[in-house]
Structure 1
């Protein structure tokens, strides 16, 4: 089984260090959740895997090869697809054009099968869509890309609950290394498509938990808090 890894990774933003020697691994195929509140380092860890931010120390390893010095576009050529939480679509282009730019040999049909809600919006400019519609478009572009590693920051932000559940089903079923960053562990996300879901919880730039999602949920229940680190009444 191949993996995408951070090894003792450090990231600095000016004088502030956002990741303090973080080590974590995401198996392929499989779904890995980088969990944490705002400021925990979860987004920075995802961006470090994608090559969107440079490391000040440590390494990024993909399928046993050190790719730390490879820029984001070079990692993309090796099959890494990154979907940021903002500006993940081309706002001035139509929905159809955004999907066609994904370059899938199958055309855009698989994206419309995954998200039929996009069908009536094909002629609309992506920048005029709602937040949830833009996330559907961004994720569907990642589905079309046929990438070997799919990294998505808050994939279901703004989506209706039913669409969010469908989205996680789609991501979990991909034959790829799928890594998502979330504030809360989505409800019911213990095992999807027959695969174990891996969780790495970050807090203040360090990993405080690594293990299976079911183990994380049980641990949070014993501690009297929700699976995302908040109270049991927290959403998600």
Structure 2
């Protein structure tokens, strides 16, 4: 299996607290990888470590075999990494149109409005006045406006209606069909992920499961607990 980007023995500390304990995570191209776990399990920190928005205290980040551990987040973005965090993912004081323009170097925002037509009547509004689901649509539209090689999204469908959420996962799956490596952080497996999706469950900063999502859901059902281990 080829690997687009990976963590190797990655450790991350927030002051005295170690949030990741030597995590090894290979991310293949053309595949959705979903990170599962409760709040505080380390799944968001994994995304931030891959994106370069938090430093590693030990270990490495490899991108197509090249060590990019010390490469800053904006340089990773220029190489084709798109990170959609769970919070502060839009420029709140700018309008929706201005947010889209910043994400479209060629000036063509049609792909974003085609994917999320709900944004069209909101173009003159400031992004900070949008609902949570509308802000998620705006944030994710950036992924559709640039030729991203690696897409990292933290709970991409948070606050969306079921129909828009299903459309969102279909859009992310389509990116994989074009060769992108897509990594999602979720509390539990969402519906609509493509066949062959890989799953990694994190518990207290360490991996407790790695394999295909179908294997994870079967295993979780056999243990008599909801997927992702939530009570």
TM above 0.5, yes or no, is yes
Question: Residues 88-125 of structure 1, C-alpha deviation per residue, up to 9 Å, x if partnerless?
Answer: 01111111111111124371111111011111111111
Gaps of 5+ in 1: 232-236
CA distance in 2, matches of 1:188, 1:166: 9
Question: How well do the aligned residues superpose, as a CA RMSD in angstroms?
Answer: 1.2
Gaps of 5+ in 2: none
Which residue matches 1:181? 185
Which residue matches 1:201? 201
Which residue matches 2:98? 97
Which residue matches 1:234? none
Query: Could you tell me whether the CA contact under 8 Å between 2:34 and 2:184 is conserved in 1?
Result: yes
User: Is the counterpart of residue 28 in structure 1 residue 29 in structure 2?
Assistant: yes
Which residue matches 1:44? 45
For these two proteins, the number of residue pairs brought into alignment is 227
Query: Could you tell me whether the CA contact under 8 Å between 2:29 and 2:181 is conserved in 1?
Result: yes
Query: Could you tell me whether the CA contact under 8 Å between 1:19 and 1:41 is conserved in 2?
Result: yes
Deviation at 1:187, TM superposition (A): 2.9
Which residue matches 2:58? 57
Question: Residues 184-230 of structure 1, C-alpha deviation per residue, up to 9 Å, x if partnerless?
Answer: 111353xx1xx510111100000000111101110011011122223
Q: Give the 3 Å change call, closer, same or farther, for CA 106–196 of structure 1 in structure 2.
A: farther
TM (norm. structure 1) is 0.93
Deviation at 1:172, TM superposition (A): 1.1
Query: Could you tell me whether the CA contact under 8 Å between 2:36 and 2:185 is conserved in 1?
Result: yes
Query: Could you tell me whether the CA contact under 8 Å between 2:62 and 2:69 is conserved in 1?
Result: yes
Deviation at 1:4, TM superposition (A): 1.2
